[in-house]
Amino acid sequence: MSASGYDVIGNEALLIAAQQMAEDIDSAFDVFIPVPDDPRRRLYEAMRYATIGGGKRIRPLLIRAAGNLFSLDPQQVIRIGLAVECIHVYSLIHDDLPAMDDDDLRRGKPTAHKAFDEATAILAGDCLHDLAFEILVDEATYPDPFIRCELVRALALASGPQGMAGGQMMDLVAETQEFDLPTITRLQQLKTGAIIGFCVEAAAIMGHVPHEGRTGLHGYARDIGLAFQIADDLMDVRGDAELAGKALGKDAAAGKQTFVSLLGVERAQQQAQLLVEQAKAHLHDYDERADLLRAIADYVIKRDR
């Protein structure tokens, strides 16, 4: 029995849930991105290369976990998870380009612009961004058009200048300017946390939870988003590049301020653990239906990739 008073699911059960979600997302991408027999073939192949196989699928898993609170339809959860992964993968493709982080390895294989070329990679990212919203506006995702509109608005806010893209711009500026801890925190709340926030927000939207009833879920998402990023920063300093499936140590090489560079390894670890405990405390109003959310909170700081 955990301190929250609920039995938290074990690591094996979490891994099974994560594996099932990864398989569901891969199967959905296989259906949604067929390869045409025409001059667009290379574009579709690049989209499939970047999306199918690999990746933690932690964002779709968060949607499933939050969806457990409201007994959401599993197929609707997969479609929302697919939309989020479209946004996430598009951001990775663009982030890896020479104009940004200039990475050659992602998920243990060459990045999209290395496997194909820069122009194709840019177009593949653009198309995945568009596919995300194509999925959200489809009535198969949710029958109520007002709910679909709210989902579209929420994902647009989370992925645009007030969210992920804004955080990425701050990250680029951080290469040439010194940021203090509050600014780094804000950067990561946008770059990483905004999409994580959408994952639990989407479940609440489909569960018809009023805005005033989402406070606990917002707090949970905020705290695990920051914990997730601190874990990434720690991994960049002391992780295993082979396990991570990407180059490590690049933040330090670029002179970027991170949670680890500002706090040190030990304090960063302590802060991540505190954030996880805070995240789980935000779920006090929920019973065992929130156990997967609690397990994910513990997982984000224990992962090796």
pLDDT tens digits, one per residue of 29-77: 999 999 999 999 999 999 999 999 978 899 999 999 999 999 999 999 9
pLDDT in tens, 100-150: 989 999 988 999 999 999 999 999 999 999 999 999 999 999 999 999 999
Is 238 inside any structural domain? yes
Question: Residue 106 belongs to what domain range?
Answer: 11-299
The residue with tokens 């045409």 is 36
Q: Evaluate whether residue 4 is within a structural domain.
A: no
The answer to whether residues 247 and 103 touch, using CB atoms and an 8 Å cutoff, is: yes
Tens of pLDDT, residues 70-107: 999 999 999 999 999 999 999 999 999 999 989 999 98
Q: pLDDT by residue (tens digit) across 268-293?
A: 999 999 999 999 999 999 989 999 99
Which pLDDT value is given to residue 3? 43
Token pair of 213 as six digits? 């009833």
Q: How far apart are CA 128 and CA 13, in angstroms?
A: 31
In a domain, 3, yes or no: no
| Residue 123 in domain | yes
CATH number (domain holding residue 256): 1.10.600.10
* pTM for the full predicted model: 0.91
Is residue 44 within 8 A of residue 36, CB to CB? The reply is: yes
Q: Tell whether 5 is covered by a domain.
A: no
User: At residue 244, does pLDDT exceed 70?
Assistant: no
Structure tokens at 206: 């489909």
Hey, what are 228's tokens? Answer: 């997730």
Q: Output the CA–CA distances (angstroms, integers) from residue 304 to 39, 82, 282, in the order listed.
A: 40, 24, 26
Degrees (nearest 5) of the Cα angle 164, 168, 172?
A: 170
Residue 222 falls inside a structural domain: yes
Q: Structure tokens of 139?
A: 């009535």
Classify 109 as helix, strand or coil.
strand
- For residue 110, which phi and psi values (nearest 5 degrees)? -55, 140
Split at pLDDT 50, 70, 90, the class of 253 is low
The conformation of residue 290, written as its DSSP 8-state character, comes to G
Residue 1 lies in a domain: no
Tokens of 255: 């002179």
Question: Which long-range contacts does 7-13 make (Cβ < 8 Å, 24+ apart)?
Answer: 7/288, 7/291, 8/291, 8/294, 8/295, 8/298, 9/291, 9/292, 9/294, 9/295, 10/295, 11/295, 11/299, 13/295
Q: Would the pLDDT of 21 be above 50? A: yes
When divided into structural domains, the chain yields a total of 1
